[in-house]
Amino acid sequence: MAGAKKQRRAIDGILIFDKPLGMSSNQALQKVRWLFNANKGGHTGSLDPLASGVLPLCLGEATKFSQYLLDADKAYITEARLGMTTTTGDAEGDVLEIKPVDISLEQVQARLPQFTGDIEQVPPMYSALKHEGQPLYKLARAGETVERKARAVTISQLTILGLEGDRLQLEVHCSKGTYIRTLVEDLGAALGCGAHVASLRRSIAGPFDLSQSVTLKALEALHAEGGPEALDHLLLPMDSGLEDWPVLELTEQTAYYLNHGQAVRVPGSPAFGKVRLKDAEGRFLGIGEMTEDARVAPKRLLRFNA
């Protein structure tokens, strides 16, 4: 029938996508969904269009567990341009101020401890955070500035990779919610010359890194050769982002009761926390959480028949 809507596939798994520059996280998701012809998908936290790198994308039932990747730690490689501040904190914004740069490696190294560990950041105006229902970046584009509360973040590692003239390369390992633009701006202010992010690449998201990622070019080449099915081998298991969680093996009977919303006792259960649930054949069934009376309660389950 002419004009009939294409039937999407029910396919489940996680793709570690190497997001290219100039593409929003949502554009990346929709492109990957189209290539896989997947019926459902979700990303695991936005990566700015001016940033590239690791963006785990969840397809199908894997979207049920995307929140846990959203909460995961991240790592970035960034190049800061010293001596220039911009309206957005990155290369996309208008120049605010230019200062001469005469900064040594030792001067930068001496400032890093104040930006390492548990610190507070004031989110930038050019961010997706909302103020009275409006994204801050929309207010910023309209010329408005509103007060933002400082937020606690953790920077577990901050390493200098190089310094050439006004270009400073850094590697940052941080908690969710960390703004690299804010870190670079604050470091530039501490150095007395100002700075903005010239380039940004995410190297790690949770347990995933660039070595596991797939480029758009590679996806398109495989799709051109064999259609959506040619991409399926690139998907990681739905629980691959939860590999540090304990695994509990369910019998057919305990799986049945869990699937009907009941908490059950499972031998070998930990005292507390969340667990991965699998059947006797090792198939992932979903996640559960320990209750105070040492039973496992269903938290997020896949559609399965036990």
Q: Catalytic site residues?
A: 48
Distance CA 30, CA 8 (A): 13
Distance CA 167, CA 160 (A): 11
b vs e for 261-288, b when ≥16 Cβ sit within 10 Å of the residue's Cβ?
A: eebbebeebeeeebbbbbbeeeebbbbb
Helices H / strands E in the chain, number of each = 7, 18
Rounded to the nearest 10 degrees, the angle between the axes of helix 25-36 and helix 216-226 is: 20
Pairing of strands 151-164, 117-121: antiparallel
**Cβ pair 51, 78 in contact under 8 A:** no
Look-up of token digits 């220039």: 84
